[in-house]
Structure formats: structure tokens, C-alpha cells
Amino acid sequence: MSAGFTKDAATAARIQEKRHITLIGLDTLFDLWMEHYGKLTDQALRRLPLRPIQSYLPGGA
């Protein structure tokens, strides 16, 4: 569950009684973004102005 989160952050998320908090790492955020990108409204896209990248080649090759 840590996915790079501090021990304090993981503990704080785990002990929430009134809210369910799921910590997600960069890989999960990326997967969710790709999965739901086409369903987002223009307003939602303006809040997090990212674009999907279908492939990545290190070094610009």
C-alpha cells in the first residue's frame, strides 16, 4: 500500500473513521487517467490539464 508514501501518510489513511481513503501511486494514477480520460467533461479536463501519451521513448528516440 505504501507506493512511496511515508509511514505517517499510510497510517493516517488507514485510521480514518469517517472517510475511506485509498492511497494511489503514480502507476495507478496513470492507469486510471487512461481508463477514464474519454469520459471526463471539459471542466474536469481543465482542472487537471494532462494529455494521454500512448507511448514513451526515453531520450526522445
Assigned domain for 47 exists: yes
Assigned domain for 49 exists: yes
Structural domains of the chain, count: 1
- DSSP code, position 48: S
**What is the model's pLDDT at position 1?**
46
**What is the model's pLDDT at position 3?**
62
Assigned domain for 9 exists: no
Neighbours of 58 (CB within 10 A): 5
Distance CA 32, CA 44 (A): 14
Range of the domain at 48: 25-54
**What is the model's pLDDT at position 2?**
47
Tens digits of residue pLDDT in 1-54 = 446 899 999 999 899 888 888 999 888 988 998 899 899 999 988 998 877 677
Assigned domain for 16 exists: no
Using DSSP, state whether 57 is helix, strand or coil: coil
Assigned domain for 14 exists: no
Assigned domain for 41 exists: yes
Q: Vertex 50, ends 46 and 52: CA angle to 5°?
A: 130
